[in-house]
Chains A and B, each alone.
Chain A
């Protein structure tokens, strides 16, 4: 196998060489995606189940597209309206899907650690498409890949992750990924949305968005995840936008052109203003495009069954 892992559960388990291998493979898939026929027959004998216990649009579509472009057969499952609402357990749901001879499972779940639990119980390769507030590895990979594409390299670059760090699996996976690739990371946002002791992960903490922007080469702006806040952590969205939102005036006052990223969906006018999100500095749509190539690479690299290939 080309990767040191059988599953992609989190960035934490990956070696820097694994990430480089994924990037190199994604380069080839990106080239495939620019051809008249954007499809290869590589996984024509593979069946992949996308099981989403939590709402998702772009990640699910991105995975589905990646799988179809690799020639795989795809089964989609979403928890709403399924037997899960009748009380079926996770392991039963997945075992039922696997009994239909599925080779790989792409799973999103609201419980942190759910993919690890599954990996201990089933044989198929598992790709974590986001577990609770823990990790979202393919998002982190496509973010780092997009930085590498825009700035030439990730090593030595200064990346600020702004906003709701507390509830963000994107933030955690990004921190692991960027650190492994040699970037410097600062997290910034309101004190109530930054977890205690996050410095132990090797990042700086900043509570002033302007200062974070002055420091960085890349600003990765995150969504305020109101659905995960069980009690209010800031007074109003208007106040949040005023003190922690990224807007044009703020960027114009900097002495440099920083790169703007956002994993989507954007709360326009809250964490990011439209005149920034749609500007030339923004690589948000590149992130979406690169997402398909990165997911193709991950699925392809996890699809091997060991052993040697004939020359």
Chain B
């Protein structure tokens, strides 16, 4: 097991991601942030809070579950879905999708499918904390990246959040 980001490094990374987002959007009236369930919401919670604090603006922030849009539901055991909570229209908005780790790209494909069912967004950006860049199975690239790591498929990247796991840390696990 190797630590990729410790508590301090994670905080600095999150701060940078929030500032990049603000730099690109400035006015958040047209922008909405959507975290992907289950683990992406810990990152999106932090980013949404930081952006609110820095800009002082009200921001539309929702959480989306993509279970019903997965392409592997029938290959394995079904999973009980998490909550979806999007209380605003995404029609014509700039949507920033947020997830913790980008691996094969299949979750993001499902998320884009799910998002389309809430309306036609003007454009969609992707923010991830960790980009496992050589593991992609679909042509999906993030717009905002916390840390790019080169891994093999047998390795696992795990992100721990203080709110849920009692510590902030990103680790690489050899299986």
**Interfacial residues, chain A to chain B (CB-CB below 8 A):** 1-2, 21, 24-25, 27-28, 31-32, 35-37, 39-43, 45-46, 70, 300-301, 303-311
Determine if A309 and B84 form an interchain contact, defined as CB atoms under 8 angstroms apart: no
Partner of B118, one of A36, A42, A307: A36
How close is B51's CB to chain A, nearest CB, in angstroms? 26
How close is A305's CB to chain B, nearest CB, in angstroms? 6
Determine if B76 and A305 form an interchain contact, defined as CB atoms under 8 angstroms apart: yes
Q: Which residues of B contact A310 (CB under 8 A)?
A: 72, 76, 104
Contact of A40 with B72 at beta-carbon distance under 8 Å, contacts A306-B77, A307-B77 already known: no
Q: Which residues of A contact B113 (CB under 8 A)?
A: 41
How close is B7's CB to chain A, nearest CB, in angstroms? 24
Q: Which residues of B contact A35 (CB under 8 A)?
A: 117-118
Determine if B117 and A2 form an interchain contact, defined as CB atoms under 8 angstroms apart: no
- For the complex with contacts A1-B78, A45-B74, 19 further pairs of A-B residues with Cβ separation under 8 Å are A21-B80, A25-B80, A28-B84, A35-B117, A36-B117, A37-B117, A39-B117, A40-B69, A42-B67, A42-B68, A70-B68, A303-B74, A304-B73, A304-B77, A307-B77, A308-B76, A309-B72, A309-B75, A309-B79
Determine if A31 and B77 form an interchain contact, defined as CB atoms under 8 angstroms apart: no
Determine if B75 and A28 form an interchain contact, defined as CB atoms under 8 angstroms apart: no
Q: Mark B54-75, 1 if CB is under 8 A from A, else 0.
A: 0000000000010111101111
The answer to whether the Cβ of B92 comes within 8 Å of any Cβ in the partner chain is no
Determine if B77 and A1 form an interchain contact, defined as CB atoms under 8 angstroms apart: yes
Q: Which residues of A contact B77 (CB under 8 A)?
A: 1-2, 304, 306-309
Partner of B69, one of A36, A41, A311: A41
Q: Which residues of B contact A36 (CB under 8 A)?
A: 117-119
**Can you list 15 A-B contacts with CB-CB less than 8 angstroms, sorted by A residue number?**
A1-B78, A21-B80, A28-B65, A32-B68, A35-B117, A36-B118, A36-B119, A37-B118, A42-B67, A42-B70, A300-B68, A303-B74, A306-B77, A310-B104, A311-B103
Q: Which residues of B contact A21 (CB under 8 A)?
A: 80
Partner of B73, one of A25, A27, A303: A303
In the complex, the chain B residue whose C-beta lies closest to that of A42 is B68
Contact of A301 with B78 at beta-carbon distance under 8 Å, contacts A40-B69, A41-B113 already known: yes
Q: Which residues of B contact A28 (CB under 8 A)?
A: 65, 67-68, 81, 83-84
In the complex, the chain B residue whose C-beta lies closest to that of A307 is B76
Determine if B65 and A306 form an interchain contact, defined as CB atoms under 8 angstroms apart: no
How close is B128's CB to chain A, nearest CB, in angstroms? 15
Question: Which of B67, B74, B116, B118 has the most chain A CB atoms closer than 10 A to its own CB?
Answer: B74
Partner of B78, one of A32, A39, A304, A311: A304
How close is B151's CB to chain A, nearest CB, in angstroms? 14
In the complex, the chain B residue whose C-beta lies closest to that of A308 is B76
Q: Mark B108-130, 1 if CB is under 8 A from A, else 0.
A: 00000100111100000000000
How close is B4's CB to chain A, nearest CB, in angstroms? 17
| Segment 30-48 of B: residues with Cβ below 8 Å from A | none
Bound complex: CA of A306 vs CA of B75, how far in Å?
A: 8
Q: Which residues of B contact A308 (CB under 8 A)?
A: 76-77
Determine if A40 and B74 form an interchain contact, defined as CB atoms under 8 angstroms apart: no
Determine if A2 and B80 form an interchain contact, defined as CB atoms under 8 angstroms apart: yes
Bound complex: CA of A32 vs CA of B81, how far in Å?
A: 12
How close is B129's CB to chain A, nearest CB, in angstroms? 15
Q: Which residues of A contact B81 (CB under 8 A)?
A: 25, 28
Bound complex: CA of A46 vs CA of B78, how far in Å?
A: 14
Closest 7 CB pairs of A and B: A304-B78, A309-B76, A40-B68, A37-B117, A42-B68, A307-B76, A28-B81
Bound complex: CA of A105 vs CA of B66, how far in Å?
A: 26
In the complex, the chain A residue whose C-beta lies closest to that of B156 is A311
Determine if A40 and B76 form an interchain contact, defined as CB atoms under 8 angstroms apart: no
Determine if A42 and B73 form an interchain contact, defined as CB atoms under 8 angstroms apart: yes
Determine if B84 and A31 form an interchain contact, defined as CB atoms under 8 angstroms apart: yes
How close is A266's CB to chain B, nearest CB, in angstroms? 34
How close is A219's CB to chain B, nearest CB, in angstroms? 32
Contact of A304 with B118 at beta-carbon distance under 8 Å, contacts A2-B79, A28-B84 already known: no
